[in-house]
Amino acid sequence: MIDKLKETVAKVLNDVDLVIGYENGFDAIHATPYFITSADQIDKLIWNPLCVHNLTTYLPTLKMKKVGIIVKGCDSRTIVQFIQEGLILRDNLVIIGLPCTGVISVNKILTETNREHIEEVSFDDKGNINVKTGKGPKTLAVADFSPDKCGTCQYPTPLVYDHLVGDPIKSDKAPENVYADIKEFESKTLEERMKYWEQEFDHCIRCYACRNACPMCICSDNCIAESRDPHWMTQKMTFTEKFMFHMIHALHLAGRCVECGECERACPMGIPVNKLKRKINQDMKELYGYEPGVNLDEKPPMFMFNVDELKIKEHKI
Amino acid sequence: MAETGFLPKDKIEGFLEAISKDNVLFTPVLEGDVVIFRPFKAGNSLYLDRPANNSPKSVIYPQSDILFSYEYKKDIDDPKKVSVDIETHMDYPKTVIFGCRPCDAIGFNIYDRVFIESNGPDIYYQGRRDKTTIITLSCPTPYAGCFCTALGGSPAGKEGTDLLMTELEKGFLLEPVSEKGKAILKTAGVEEGDQYLEEAQKKQQQAHNAVNKPFPSISHTEISRKRFDLDEFWQQAVSKCISCGACTFLCPTCYCFNFTDEQTLEKGERIRSWDACMFYHFTLETSGHNPRPTRFQRYKNRVGHKFLFYPEKYNGVIACSGCGRCIRYCPVSVDISKIVSQLRSPE
């Protein structure tokens, strides 16, 4: 698989300025984004369940360059959404798709190993990850240590690509379970939910890792969280300010969030910020029957206006 | 009196309670999957198994600090006349930070040079610093991204610390470093510790040897200025940086700040809040010009400040403690230790 990927990247590199893929990170459990501009770099390219990042987040800033990009099924939804919104030029892009059976939640592994230094990581063909720390080796099922999104993944094979490396995979996950966790959370009382967010956002350090990791958060340098003109938010560290920021982030993603979970993965304080976005996406699906980033021919609901929205009664007055 | 103390594990709760009677006491606790410093409450679960996600710098140098409140008042008889009332908030309590790590404690010494010794004193920083005692826990093992020994530090380093604790089987050896630390030895529950010193030192040495060393040592004079000034170097090294402030805000040695007046109608507060050189707004000028518009330029500044500009100003001291947080929590795993290795290797 990796040989075929390297071959494809070598081919693509002839026609583009750079290819974005993955290489090994600072320790055995971390992969890291890899910008390949010359053929001698290809050797270090990797592909395994540690390749968690949604690399498409770099694409809008590279809009005018010719870029080759490696995407998993979930990542490819971002590209569909980008194209719908006109944020990238399809002609400048060569997409290398990789069917994916699920990645690793590095955070879940680190919790399991008590955050000790991980010396070695390997994967076997039975779907396990072998992790070795100073205390010895551990064999864990990848499926048990995947991000939540993998557990309900509907699109293991990229929805848009120029080259597909590997055979397409069909999802075996029930579509009705995609928002099961959100429905469960909604069954709590308003007070319980408020208390939950008060506790979670108390950890927020306003580092904006969630915003900057988010591929769809495209106004990052002009974000109202820091802007003094308009001056909508103060620089105080209160719940009100933090909640305001996260709500604005979530609302700006209504019908746009592709649920890659990068916001949550990036958070150094472990705040489940993706929940807010997924709740809104669930509403968008119910109201407009729209799912972001799955169909190139669709127009996102917030990009158009229908006088007669089928499911919004007020419009019929 | 003995030189060192010993705190049996079953006495730790009482020890903390005793300290919290006269001090605001901050201890690390586990909330969800996050280790965070919180004001001590009896029954709070203490968590010492790994370093806190964020450094305890906010105890002495708050992320958002109200310097003063102000209120404009109009003269009823002559509405053109406006006066302003100003109120400061500087009654800082005696404070103890318990259970930070040597790489956290050393950060306060790095701040002292800036806020007290050469530019100051900064009364807000010094006000809290003077009233704070720092009880540090030596690290038994390195964590992901740690590289303190490459910077001359140690898992049992004493710089910036008032009292160093080392965990042994039945309790903690307490080594005082300052007068403030010696005073803590008088707290209830502390026994004589000299008999445990040798065992503790052995553990400290073991931990020291286990830390990853990406380079043997570093001086700012070893950094290749030529490579540092090369845009291509930074483009290649950090094109993946997403320019968030996680590294900066978790860092025990980053101290850049911003001032804002947060005002509603006639009342307001002047706030000093942490800023990050990773942010676009950090260098944005009023004219709209930004001298550091790209991400790699901003990351270059972060490395430059810690490994070149600060040491040039402060007798060669490197403004990085090697705590590894910026590596460990970076969303895209940018590795500052690798970049510094590349900068110091021969041209």
Is residue A80 included in any domain, yes or no? no
**Residue A314 confidence (pLDDT):** 62
Which phi and psi (to 5°) does residue A2 adopt? Answer: -65, -35
Please check the confidence at residue B257 and state whether its pLDDT lies above 70. yes
Residue to test with chain B: of A52, A212, A221, A222, most B Cβ within 10 A: A212
Looking at chain A, which residue has its C-alpha nearest residue B268?
A: A234
CA distance B343 to B337: 10
Evaluate whether A39 touches A11 at the Cβ level (below 8 Å): no
Average pLDDT, stretch B180-208? 95
Residue to test with chain B: of A269, A273, A274, A275, most B Cβ within 10 A: A269
- What residues in B contact A52, CB-CB < 8 Å? none
**Residue A134 confidence (pLDDT):** 83
Smallest Cβ distance to B144: which of A27, A207, A265?
A27
Strand-pair category, A128-133 with B95-100: unpaired
pLDDT, tens digit (0-9, with 9 covering 90-100), for B70-104 = 999 999 999 899 999 999 989 999 999 999 999 99
Dihedral, CA of residue B109, residue B110, residue B113 and residue B119, to nearest 10: -130
- What residues in B contact A33, CB-CB < 8 Å? 240, 332
Q: What residues of chain A score a pLDDT lower than 70?
A: 313-317
Average pLDDT, stretch B24-32? 95
Residue to test with chain B: of A29, A57, A205, most B Cβ within 10 A: A205
Q: Where are the domains of chain B?
A: 1-61+93-212, 214-347
Evaluate whether B267 touches B70 at the Cβ level (below 8 Å): yes
pLDDT, tens digit (0-9, with 9 covering 90-100), for B175-184 = 999 999 999 9
- What residues in B contact A212, CB-CB < 8 Å? 242-244, 331
Average pLDDT, stretch B322-346? 94
Which phi and psi (to 5°) does residue A14 adopt? Answer: -65, -30
Is residue A216 included in any domain, yes or no? yes
pTM to 2 decimals? Answer: 0.94
Cβ contact A228–B243 (<8 Å):
no
For every residue of B255-293, DSSP letters joined together read --EEEEEEEETTEEEEEEEE--TTSGGGG--TTS--S--
- What residues in B contact A111, CB-CB < 8 Å? 33
Beta bridge partners of residue B198, listed in sequence order: none
pLDDT, tens digit (0-9, with 9 covering 90-100), for B163-173 = 999 999 999 99
Smallest Cβ distance to A235: which of B36, B243, B271?
B271
Which phi and psi (to 5°) does residue A134 adopt? Answer: -55, -25
Q: Is B166 helix (H, G, I), strand (E, B) or coil?
A: strand
- What residues in B contact A226, CB-CB < 8 Å? 279, 281
Could you tell me how many CB contacts below 8 A there are between chain A and chain B?
Answer: 130
Cβ contact A208–B262 (<8 Å):
no
Cite the DSSP H helix spans in chain B.
12-22, 57-60, 102-112, 123-130, 179-184, 197-210, 225-228, 231-238, 246-250, 295-304, 310-313, 325-328, 336-344
Tokens describing residue B142: 């390195």
Smallest Cβ distance to B142: which of A26, A117, A206?
A117
Average pLDDT, stretch B28-55? 93
- What residues in A contact B281, CB-CB < 8 Å? 221, 226
What does DSSP assign to residue A205? -
A236: domain range? Answer: 179-305
**Residue B2 confidence (pLDDT):** 65
Cβ contact A57–B242 (<8 Å):
yes
Cβ contact B242–A209 (<8 Å):
yes
Smallest Cβ distance to B249: which of A33, A116, A207?
A207
- What residues in A contact B239, CB-CB < 8 Å? 35
E strand intervals along chain A = 18-24, 31-36, 67-71, 93-97, 118-123, 128-133, 136-141, 163-164
Looking at chain B, which residue has its C-alpha nearest residue A234?
A: B262
- What residues in A contact B262, CB-CB < 8 Å? 234-236
Cβ contact B63–A237 (<8 Å):
yes
**Residue A105 confidence (pLDDT):** 96
**Residue A126 confidence (pLDDT):** 92
**Residue B44 confidence (pLDDT):** 80
CA distance B2 to B193: 7
CA distance B54 to A209: 14
Q: Tell me which H or E stretch contains A316.
A: none
Structure confidence at residue B120 as a pLDDT band (50, 70, 90): confident
Evaluate whether A73 touches A158 at the Cβ level (below 8 Å): yes
pLDDT, tens digit (0-9, with 9 covering 90-100), for B275-321 = 999 999 999 999 989 999 999 999 999 999 999 999 999 999 999 99
Tokens describing residue A267: 């958070």
Dihedral, CA of residue B94, residue B99, residue B104 and residue B106, to nearest 10: 70
Report percent pLDDT > 90 for chain B. Answer: 90
Strand-pair category, A163-164 with A93-97: parallel
Smallest Cβ distance to A203: which of B36, B239, B331?
B36
Tokens describing residue A295: 């169909």
Q: Tell me which H or E stretch contains B24.
A: strand B24-31
Cβ contact B64–A235 (<8 Å):
yes
- What residues in B contact A200, CB-CB < 8 Å? 32
- What residues in B contact A27, CB-CB < 8 Å? 144-145
Closest to B109 in 3D by CA, of B43, B166, B159, B69? B159
Cβ contact B331–A30 (<8 Å):
no
Please check the confidence at residue B142 and state whether its pLDDT lies above 80. yes
Evaluate whether A99 touches A5 at the Cβ level (below 8 Å): no
Closest to B193 in 3D by CA, of B180, B205, B181? B181
Closest to A211 in 3D by CA, of A254, A248, A255? A248
Is residue A232 included in any domain, yes or no? yes
Strand-pair category, B95-100 with A93-97: unpaired
pLDDT, tens digit (0-9, with 9 covering 90-100), for B209-251 = 999 999 998 998 899 999 999 999 999 999 999 999 999 999 9
Task: State the smallest CA–CA distance between residue A128 and chain B in angstroms.
Answer: 22
CA distance A155 to A168: 10
Looking at chain A, how many residues does it have? Answer: 317
**Residue A228 confidence (pLDDT):** 84
Number of CB atoms found within 10 A of residue A105's CB: 23
- What residues in B contact A217, CB-CB < 8 Å? none
- How many domains is chain A built from? 1
Closest to B136 in 3D by CA, of B45, B41, B204, B186? B204
Closest to B242 in 3D by CA, of A208, A141, A150? A208
**Residue B347 confidence (pLDDT):** 61
Is residue A199 included in any domain, yes or no? yes
Residue to test with chain A: of B47, B53, B89, B242, most A Cβ within 10 A: B242
Average pLDDT, stretch B188-198? 94
Looking at chain B, which residue has its C-alpha nearest residue A116?
A: B143
- What residues in B contact A208, CB-CB < 8 Å? 244-245, 279
Tokens describing residue A123: 């994967």
Tokens describing residue B220: 């700012």
Cβ contact B244–A209 (<8 Å):
yes
CA B210 to chain centroid: 23
Residue to test with chain B: of A113, A196, A207, most B Cβ within 10 A: A207
Q: Tell me which H or E stretch contains B2.
A: none
